[in-house]
Structure 1
Amino acid sequence: MRNVVRTAAASAAALVTLSGCGGSAGPAAVGPGERSVSVDKGDTFTLEVPASPALGQNWYLASPRPDKGVVTYQGRREEEDGGDEDLIGSSDGAQFFDFKARAAGTTTVKLLFCPNGLCGSAAEVGASPVPTATTTTGPTESDDEVAYYVYTITVR
């Protein structure tokens, strides 16, 4: 499973694009290795993270939620790529968290990485003492631990 996560993390990091939405210079999609996002008011952008829900690996938007005056959360979606249809978890996948930039300012988006079915929601983890640290890299070093990923969003 580590290789699936490593491959997916590398793929997601490679998907960071610098093309803007709506004619601006902000990024359209940001992977787990990029934690600082700058966009223009009115832009839409996506946080894309590697995941394999079939193997119990999921991401959740955690509290505190981003400032609704700066960005609004548009929803979460997922997709799986390739793999053997008859072999559960053989494909790479990704989960996407979509946002729209509303007004100039800075806010944070906190995502919770839950591997191996260790948690079923952000609220479930928020009620317990784990995780205690925020990671600074993608889920490649230790894909067996629950971790928070914090993104700083700046709207111009």
Structure 2
Amino acid sequence: MRNIVRTAAASAAALVTLSGCGDSTGPAAFGPGERSVSVDKGDTFTLEVPANPALGQNWYLASPHPDKGVVTYQGRREEEEGGDEDLIGSGDGAQFFDFAAHAAGRTTVKLLFCPHGLCGSAAEVSASPVPTATTTAAPTKSDDEVAYYVYTITVR
């Protein structure tokens, strides 16, 4: 089961990496390896993270929430692709956190990763913020542990 989750997460991470290429019709998408995000005032953007909710793997917007004077949270959505219809959780998935940039400034967005149904909301958990907002590496945290991912958002 653990290998299935890691394989799904790795596949979704590869899709996240490629999502910034080619399609310029939608909002800019940033993956978990891109924690320092710069956008222009008036832009919409998405934080896209690999997830498989059918296996109890979810992400939540955690407190403190971003400064509403700089960006506003537009909501969360998810997608699942591929896999065997008869096998729950066999597809690759992603969750998307959508934002709109309103004014020049800097704020942080804190996302909580909850694997294996370990939490049902950000309010249920208290975990240490790892990795830091300055790292650009992909997550190295075990997919078996609850963790925060902090993004620094700069609006120009």
- 1:7-156 to 2 correspondence within 5 Å? 7-17=11-21, 28-126=28-126, 131-135=127-131, 136=135, 137-139=137-139, 141-156=141-156
How far apart, in 1, do the equivalents of 2:110 and 2:151 lie?
6
Amino acid at match of 2:65: R
Partners in 2 of 1:19 and 1:106 — Cα distance? Answer: 26
Q: Which amino acid in 2 is paired with 1:143?
A: D
Q: Deviations over 1:98-131 (max 9, x none)?
A: 00000000000000000000000000004xxxx2
The unaligned stretches of length 5 or more in structure 1 are none
Tell me how far 1:140 sits from its aligned partner: 5.3
Q: 1:143 to 1:120 in 2, by over 3 A?
A: same
TM-score for the superposition, normalised by structure 2: 0.87
Q: What is the alpha-carbon root mean square deviation over aligned residues?
A: 2.0
Unaligned segments of structure 2, at least 5 residues: none
State the secondary structure of the residue aligned to 1:12.
helix
2:141 and 2:147 in contact (8 A); partners too: no
Q: Structure 1 residues 74, 62: CA separation in 2 closer, same or farther (over 3 Å shift)?
A: same
Deviations 1:64-96 (A, max 9, x none): 000000000000000001111110010000000
Q: Residues 102, 59 of structure 1: CA spacing in aligned structure 2 closer, same or farther, 3 A cutoff?
A: same
The letter for the 1-side match of 2:103 is A
TM-score normalised per structure 1: 0.87
State the identity %. 76
Farther-moved stretch of structure 1 (10-19 vs 50-59): 10-19
Asked whether the equivalents of residues 113 and 149 of structure 1 are also in contact (C-alpha less than 8 Å), the reply is yes
State whether residues 129 and 149 of structure 2, in contact with CA within 8 Å, keep that contact through their aligned partners in structure 1.
no
Describe the SS at the equivalent of 1:153.
strand
The letter of the residue matching 2:152 is T
- The answer on whether the counterparts of 1:58 and 1:115 sit within 8 Å (CA) in structure 2 is yes
Aligned residue type for 1:15: S
In the TM superposition, residue 8 of structure 1 has moved relative to its aligned partner by: 1.5
Secondary structure of the structure 1 residue equivalent to 2:83: coil
C-alpha contact 1:21 1:45 (8 A) present in aligned 2: no
Alpha-carbon spacing, 1:18–1:100, altered in 2? closer, same or farther (3 Å)? farther
Shift of 1:13: 2.3
